[in-house]
Amino acid sequence: MALLTLAIVPGCSIVGTWDAPQDCPWGASDELESVPARITLRDDGTYAARVTYGGKETTNQGKYEWTGRRLIITPRGHRSRTYTGWHWDKYLRLSAKYKGQTVHCTLTRVSE
């Protein structure tokens, strides 16, 4: 894995629409699934996500909080999930502990 040499700027806005590739672990329940997703983070602290499970697109909404190094996602009707985050340029790298392992995902901003 190449070392990241770009400046990482905590606290920068992550508002916008982000694409997550197929290998990103997501899940509103206790189970994570590796699925492609598009998530829109709004400036009012809400989000909307489109996720494709088994070829079928589903949507969910909820609230989020970005602390500059942590992203807390709270889907409606589910408990919060916390990710450690690094934001630089058009990328958002998220990491989380899941069943004793650390899982990672790098999202790409598609619009602000």
Which architecture, in CATH terms, is 16-111? Answer: Beta Barrel (2.40)
Calculate the average pLDDT of the chain.
79
Tens digit of pLDDT for each residue in 11-48? 468 999 999 877 676 554 445 556 678 899 999 999 99
Across-strand partners of 92? 87, 107
Domain spans, the chain: 16-111
What percent of the chain stands above pLDDT 70? 79
Evaluate if pTM is beyond 0.75: yes
Give the residue among 90, 34, 26 at the shortest CA–CA distance from 60: 26
pLDDT value, residue 17: 95
